[in-house]
Amino acid sequence: MRISLVNLLSILFVFSLISSVILPAYAEVTSFQTNSGFYRGGNQIIFSGKIASGDPQNVYIVIYSPNNFVLLSSGTADNTNNFQIVVDTGTQGNQQKFSVKGIYNATAFVMNKAIGKTVNFIFSPDGSSITPSSPVSLTTTPFSSTEIDLSWLAPTMNGGSPITGYKIERNNGNGFNAIQNTLTLTYQDTGLTPSKQYSYRISAINSAGASNPSNVAYATTMSTPVPTTPSSPGASAQNNTGSTQTTDAQAIYEEIQKRIENAKRLQQLMQGKSNKILLSENMNLGDSIGNVSASNMEKISENKLLSVDFNNILYPLIILAGAGIIIAVLYAKKNKLWFNFDFKPMNKKNVDDPTKSVEKDDDFVEEDYSLMILRNRLAKGEITIEEFNRLKDALKEP
């Protein structure tokens, strides 16, 4: 009885399956490839590879179409352990076997198919393209509270025609929907909701259509950062001092109000002398800032020649400005100084004898701004001693 080649190969195939259980494992095939990734009807498929040194030299190749087993073929490795096996799809017998369009795979082995090597290729009877294999290694990375970045690798087979794009699908909890087509292998998905999970998948596109989707990758956007209120240059100091700043502001306000009242009293007392008084007052800031030395103040002074109309309702503010109170307040606040509102008595000259100093009395424990103006006017000869004493006594009255 004669045994055909097909029957012999079938027997060898069955034997190889049995040997995987009862025979020792060999190193088998160390490399295996095809001469092309795409074939059409009538083409020769050239398989080549190498086996391990010392292994049996007979090599078998089993081929599967997308649906089922197609063919078992065999060959022999040479003295350098290299082999080449050719399968002609144009022969009468093979035309019927290679009739399905799609992705085929072939596995080469020596004795044990389970430890052989496998390659994929595309076969198309009419030569038309098929859809590519799926993109691989899709990864997703949250970039911000509204952006997720995607990257992936091109499919291992393009289906017989160039890849023309990639379809990106996103699932926000309501199923996958296409959001973008791109030619690149990366994509930045923006306009998302903070702290929300999304999933993605990618399909490759060629002239035959879209591939099956890639693996599904998940990512959750970052949470929205808590907004911070920009602080003004003095905000930290204000926060550190807290209630002290509030107290300081109140004290400044009260001192200004007191000086306004003193100015009003002085105006009323001097109505009989003149309706309009020309004042030329010099006020060193050290006179109104008790804890600032003359060197620290750099001898800053405010010299103003004021024509004060006491019939004008703004006269208290004009008097205050002429005396330099506003400048003193601003300078002290800027340099983190504090006002000593208990004005110390000046070294006053005796009004009868300018060369003699008078002892400090209780009437001058607190230096009154209005009294300072009177002394300046007395020194300039604008009022007499009698007028000075009369006005001074009047200012003491509650």
Q: What's the mean pLDDT when you consider all of the chain?
A: 74
Cα–Cα distance between 230 and 215 in angstroms, integer? 45
Look at 67 and 360; give whichever has higher pLDDT: 67
Residue 266 has a CB neighbour count (10 Å cut-off) of 24
The tokens describing 270, both together, are 């001097």
Which one is predicted more confidently, 266 or 125?
Answer: 125
Instruction: Answer yes or no: is 230 within a domain.
Output: no
pLDDT value of position 97: 93
- Output the pLDDT for position 7: 60
Instruction: Verify that 162 and 293 share a domain, yes or no.
Output: no
Co-location of 301 and 349 in the same domain: yes
Whether 329 and 374 share a structural domain: yes
Residue 389 included in any domain = yes
Rounded average pLDDT over 227-247 = 57
Same domain, 300 and 380: yes
Q: Give the chain's domain count.
A: 3
Residue 276 lies in a domain: yes
Say yes or no to pLDDT of 290 above 90: no
| Residue 95 lies in domain | 5-124
Q: What is the mean pLDDT of residues 343-358?
A: 44
**Same domain assignment for residues 117 and 150:** no
Collapsed DSSP state (helix, strand, coil) of residue 131: coil
Same domain membership, residue 380 and residue 259: yes
Rounded CA-CA distance 193/195 in Å is: 7
Contact 209, 134 (CB under 8 A): no
Gap between the Cα atoms of 105 and 113, Å rounded = 13
**Are 245 and 380 members of one domain?**
yes
Question: Is 176's pLDDT higher than 70?
Answer: yes
pLDDT over threshold 60, residue 131: yes
Q: Is there a domain that residue 234 lies in? A: no
- Return the structure tokens found at 384: 């007499």
166 touches 155 (CB < 8 A): no
Alpha-helical runs (H) found in the chain: 5-22, 92-97, 235-241, 243-269, 315-323, 325-334, 369-379, 385-396
Domain assignment of residue 160, yes or no: yes
Percentage with pLDDT > 90 across the chain: 45
For position 275, what pLDDT does the model report?
45
CA distance 264 to 270: 10
Asked whether residue 129 is assigned to any structural domain, the reply reads no
Helices (H), 179-242: 235-241
Output phi, psi for 50, to 5 deg.
Answer: -145, 145
- Kindly report the length of the chain: 398
- How much is the pLDDT for 374? 73
Q: What is the mean pLDDT of residues 78-90?
A: 96
Tell me, what's the pLDDT at 289? 36
99: left (phi over 0), alpha (psi -120 to 50) or beta: alpha
Predicted pLDDT of residue 15? 52
Across residues 337-361, what is the average pLDDT?
44
What is the predicted pLDDT for the residue at 204? Answer: 97
Question: Which residue, of 78, 99, 124, is where some domain finishes?
Answer: 124
The larger pLDDT score, comparing residue 243 to residue 386, is at 386
Same domain for 196 and 103 = no
Sorting pLDDT into bands at 50, 70 and 90, what band is 345? Answer: very low
Q: Are residues 214 and 153 in the same domain?
A: yes
Q: Which long-range contacts (CB under 8 A, 24 or more apart) does 6-14 make?
A: 9/60, 9/72, 9/73, 9/74, 10/72, 12/60, 12/72, 12/74, 13/60, 13/62, 13/72
Q: Is the pLDDT of residue 151 over 60?
A: yes
Report if pTM > 0.85.
Answer: no
pLDDT at 248 over 80: no
Final residue belonging to a domain, choices 77, 95, 124: 124
Identify the band that residue 349 occupies on the pLDDT scale cut at 50, 70 and 90. very low
Mean pLDDT of 15-27: 51
Contact 119, 33 (CB under 8 A): yes
* pLDDT value, residue 389: 80
Range with top average pLDDT, 85-94, 221-230, 299-308, 347-356:
85-94
Q: Which two tokens stand for residue 394?
A: 């009047």
Is it the case that residue 285 has pLDDT exceeding 60?
no
Q: What is the pLDDT of residue 28?
A: 84
Strands 165-171, 148-153: pairing kind: unpaired
CA nearest to 63, candidates 100, 21, 27: 100
- Report the range of poorest mean pLDDT among 178-182, 186-190, 246-250: 246-250
Per the CB < 8 A criterion, the answer to whether 73 and 63 are in contact is yes
> Across residues 141-154, what is the average pLDDT?
97
Judge if 263 and 373 occupy the same domain. yes
| Torsion angle (degrees, nearest 10) of CA 363, 367, 369, 370 | 20
